[in-house]
Amino acid sequence: MIIHQTLNQLYPASDEDLAKRARHKRNLGYHDIRVGNTPDDRLVKFVTKNLFTVADDARERFEDYKDLLGAFVSDDISYREFAARVRRRQTGSDEDNDWEDSDPADWDL
């Protein structure tokens, strides 16, 4: 997964009325909404240049954690367990528990 921060919310020209309502301070109050069908230079640069520099690393990380992502999105594990397993996998710890590094008084049994 690759995420790019756009710094703007782009609404298509056909949704200009919706954009106006979303901008209004008594509705969503989003001040960063732009209306138009053309991406800004920053997004074009990300898609045409920067994306290629991060794609291989992102794919490798995805492959390393796709089993955990699959379990999380299918509700087989909670976010808390997902995050803990990712952390333990990153550090090379026993993925099933933190017991060797924790105080038994803190265990939620």
Q: Where do the structural domains in the chain lie, given as residue ranges?
A: 7-38, 39-97
pLDDT band for position 6 (cuts 50, 70, 90): confident
Determine the Cα–Cα distance for residues 98 and 92; give it in Å rounded to an integer: 11
Arithmetic mean of pLDDT, 10-28 = 93
pLDDT band for position 76 (cuts 50, 70, 90): very high
pLDDT reading at 106 higher than 80: no
| pTM score | 0.56
pLDDT reading at 99 higher than 90: no
The backbone torsions φ and ψ at residue 85, rounded to the nearest 5 degrees and listed phi first, read: -65, -40
Arithmetic mean of pLDDT, 23-37 = 90
Distance of CA 52 to the CA centre of its chain: 18
Distance separating the N- and C-terminal Cα atoms of the chain: 34
CA separation, residue 95 to residues 27, 39, 63, 84 (Å):
45, 42, 17, 8
